[in-house]
A and B are shown apart, each in its own frame.
Chain A
């Protein structure tokens, strides 16, 4: 009995002693880092908004607080929590009661960017496990990665093209040899990409200076469907006698775009596998992905027309803006978008030479095996169906998205990155097709890196629209940056054929974004 007690006490001392030792080292095992950032942007155009003349106003007045906590309670186990608190900086109160609290006057949101455990060498030394909410980045190319499909993109801030939507995942990494890494990832639930604020303009009406609707967004129709729609458009237009606007006699309510959400069953889960090889100066990998495309694809559209005879007379009080016009044909447009399934077989490689005059090369390609998407269009007149059409929007034919490029630097003076890209982020071989792009970035540093001038841009080789993005960064002191820049879209805002879905300009269309000047300040700690 006494021996047992002493033995237990001894164990207890050991345990407590060990705990005490760990507690003393906790400060070394936990690190907190983060940043504070302010971002203000001003729209410099007034022709890329929903209506002519909208613009020349502040688009963003935002403050972010990012905090990242990394804890390593024991060797080979690391926990990471990365959060963001965002204050939007614009008053959103629309009614008097909303002025009572801060929520609408100074709206904010909180995001958990990452929260995961990373276990190294478990259950055996050549295996790591990572589980939790995280962000994956696959592919060797810069920014345009056809093989990087596990996380959806976060384009809610169009200037931050690296952001992604975090998701819960299970990742298993195997290291059977120095030259080989195997990776397996399972994502239980689907999350779509966050779209830029301008994306709603892809479904918006076109207005003239008088505020009249002059056109509606073209659905992805084949020529036969376009003719049917033209017929409907002409019939509606015949009510606009005496006006130069063929749709003056029609009242359009605000279009509604609904999202057909994938289910939460295992069939909507995603999975991917990758094998990475390191062979001398070349790194290459083979990958496979099963899941869904994270950008929405047009799926259905319904035009519901209400004739004046069926509109009730207006009341004597203030009515909702969307009230039906008793003197005109009223058209309500409801569209649906869908996230098609896909499989992607990918390959990528990168090569870099010791010779400073030889640029580094990289290439990445993904063969997409898409779900076929049929687009359906219907029109109703006073509840009676007057138009039905269906055509293929996304064929089942596999297609290729690829990036190939090189980068080169000379001292601290200049860094160049040139890429050919086939298939933009949101292109899925639908009726808009896959386009070819030339993407460039040039960076130069001055004053020992205190000033950094960067010029980036992309050119659509098919329609010659472009986006240009110059930026100047001043590193005031290490960890403190001030950044100023401008993003400009060049291209026609009007499609060549208002009925042809494919004729809209990649960067010219309003949905691509607004021309903005921006100024940011960031403190990293």
Chain B
């Protein structure tokens, strides 16, 4: 809700300034709005991890998200049946099928790689560029704005201290973004393609490639299902739901 309020304010400014060239803030806000500006969202995807030797492994999973609450379930692979519930940044539970038990886990585990991919759990659900970064327009061509993003003072903690984003001028999708660590080394590169209109007005890239430039390791995300603002209930993000029918 705070997200939407913040965005709302920014969008007013955007609307007011539509007659003129958009600022970096306006571009980033607009991008955030079309990618994350929802009360809730549900995504079902197939993640394919490509090792440097070319070998691949795939996992079918889903993420339901509402604000900072998140429910992740695996639908294939050796982790099939596992579920992770993030009630808040400090409260995380995992359902372990082998033990038939919900276990509380340390929140910092969300910083670990997601199923061995180039995603982390937190990165999978990074929901607000605007609250995390301050953008600066560093380049522009016919198709893209290029923004350089640094942490916003007083904002939420970003996944990485620096990011560079290429925003598509037509649909405001971030077709490319790269994250840099404290040393300025590029550590993650996201390349998104195949935009799809999942429902009228809801455009989202179907394919996401994540590369680790340091190792050459890649992960591909094929989004099979994407739904927003379905009125997901808060009760969906509880241990009760995690244990339901398990």
A interface, CB within 8 angstroms of B: 33, 70, 72, 78, 80, 118, 120, 128, 135-137, 140, 162, 173, 175, 178, 181, 278, 280-281, 283, 350, 352-356, 358-360, 407-409, 411-412, 445, 447-450, 475, 477-481, 522, 524-525
Given A137-B100, A181-B239, A478-B57: A354 in contact with B109 (beta carbons within 8 A) = no
B129 to chain A, nearest CB (A): 22
Q: Which residues of chain B in 173-188 are interfacial with respect to chain A, using CB atoms and an 8 Å cutoff?
A: none
B240 touches A80 (CB 8 A): no
Partner of B240, one of A33, A173, A358: A173
Contact sample, A vs B, 19 pairs, CB 8 Å cutoff: A128-B240, A137-B101, A140-B104, A173-B240, A350-B103, A350-B104, A352-B92, A352-B106, A352-B107, A354-B89, A356-B106, A409-B112, A412-B112, A448-B113, A448-B116, A450-B116, A478-B58, A478-B59, A480-B78
Residues of A contacting B77 in the complex (Cβ-Cβ under 8 angstroms): 478-479, 524
B239 touches A475 (CB 8 A): no
Partner of B104, one of A175, A352, A450, A481: A352
B111 interface residue (CB < 8 Å to A): yes
B241 to chain A, nearest CB (A): 9
Residues of A contacting B238 in the complex (Cβ-Cβ under 8 angstroms): 175, 178
User: How far is A373 from B59 in the complex, measured between Cα atoms in Å?
Assistant: 53
A72 touches B49 (CB 8 A): no
Residues of B contacting A80 in the complex (Cβ-Cβ under 8 angstroms): 245
Residues of B contacting A524 in the complex (Cβ-Cβ under 8 angstroms): 77-78, 80
A356 touches B111 (CB 8 A): yes
A360 touches B76 (CB 8 A): no
Residues of B contacting A118 in the complex (Cβ-Cβ under 8 angstroms): 244-245
A448 touches B112 (CB 8 A): no
B interface, CB within 8 angstroms of A: 49, 51, 57-59, 76-81, 89-92, 98-101, 103-109, 111-113, 115-117, 217, 238-240, 244-245
User: How far is A278 from B239 in the complex, measured between Cα atoms in Å?
Assistant: 10
B101 touches A479 (CB 8 A): no
B98 touches A481 (CB 8 A): no
Q: Which A-B residue pairs are the 4 nearest by beta carbons?
A: A478-B77, A78-B245, A449-B116, A356-B108
Residues of B contacting A525 in the complex (Cβ-Cβ under 8 angstroms): 76, 80
B107 touches A33 (CB 8 A): no
Residues of B contacting A411 in the complex (Cβ-Cβ under 8 angstroms): 111-113
Residues of A contacting B90 in the complex (Cβ-Cβ under 8 angstroms): 280-281, 352-354
Residue in chain B with minimal CB distance to A120 = B244
A504 to chain B, nearest CB (A): 30
A72 touches B100 (CB 8 A): no
B115 touches A72 (CB 8 A): no
Residues of B contacting A445 in the complex (Cβ-Cβ under 8 angstroms): 116
Residue in chain A with minimal CB distance to B234 = A178
B90 to chain A, nearest CB (A): 5
User: How far is A128 from B243 in the complex, measured between Cα atoms in Å?
Assistant: 11
Given A173-B240, A448-B49, A450-B116: A360 in contact with B104 (beta carbons within 8 A) = yes
A283 touches B80 (CB 8 A): no
Residues of B contacting A136 in the complex (Cβ-Cβ under 8 angstroms): 100
Residues of B contacting A408 in the complex (Cβ-Cβ under 8 angstroms): 106
User: How far is A398 from B108 in the complex, measured between Cα atoms in Å?
Assistant: 40
Given A360-B105, A475-B78: A181 in contact with B116 (beta carbons within 8 A) = no
User: How far is A475 from B55 in the complex, measured between Cα atoms in Å?
Assistant: 12
A162 touches B99 (CB 8 A): yes
Residue in chain B with minimal CB distance to A116 = B245
Residues of B contacting A412 in the complex (Cβ-Cβ under 8 angstroms): 112-113, 116
B78 touches A135 (CB 8 A): no
Residues of B contacting A360 in the complex (Cβ-Cβ under 8 angstroms): 104-106
Residues of A contacting B89 in the complex (Cβ-Cβ under 8 angstroms): 354
Query: Which of A283, A355, A408: most chain B Cβ within 10 A?
Result: A283
B78 touches A479 (CB 8 A): yes
A354 touches B107 (CB 8 A): yes
Residue in chain B with minimal CB distance to A70 = B245
Residues of A contacting B239 in the complex (Cβ-Cβ under 8 angstroms): 181, 278
Residues of B contacting A448 in the complex (Cβ-Cβ under 8 angstroms): 49, 51, 113, 116-117, 217
Residues of B contacting A355 in the complex (Cβ-Cβ under 8 angstroms): 108
B66 to chain A, nearest CB (A): 14
B245 touches A181 (CB 8 A): no
B245 touches A140 (CB 8 A): no
User: How far is A175 from B242 in the complex, measured between Cα atoms in Å?
Assistant: 14
A283 touches B76 (CB 8 A): no
Residue in chain B with minimal CB distance to A151 = B100
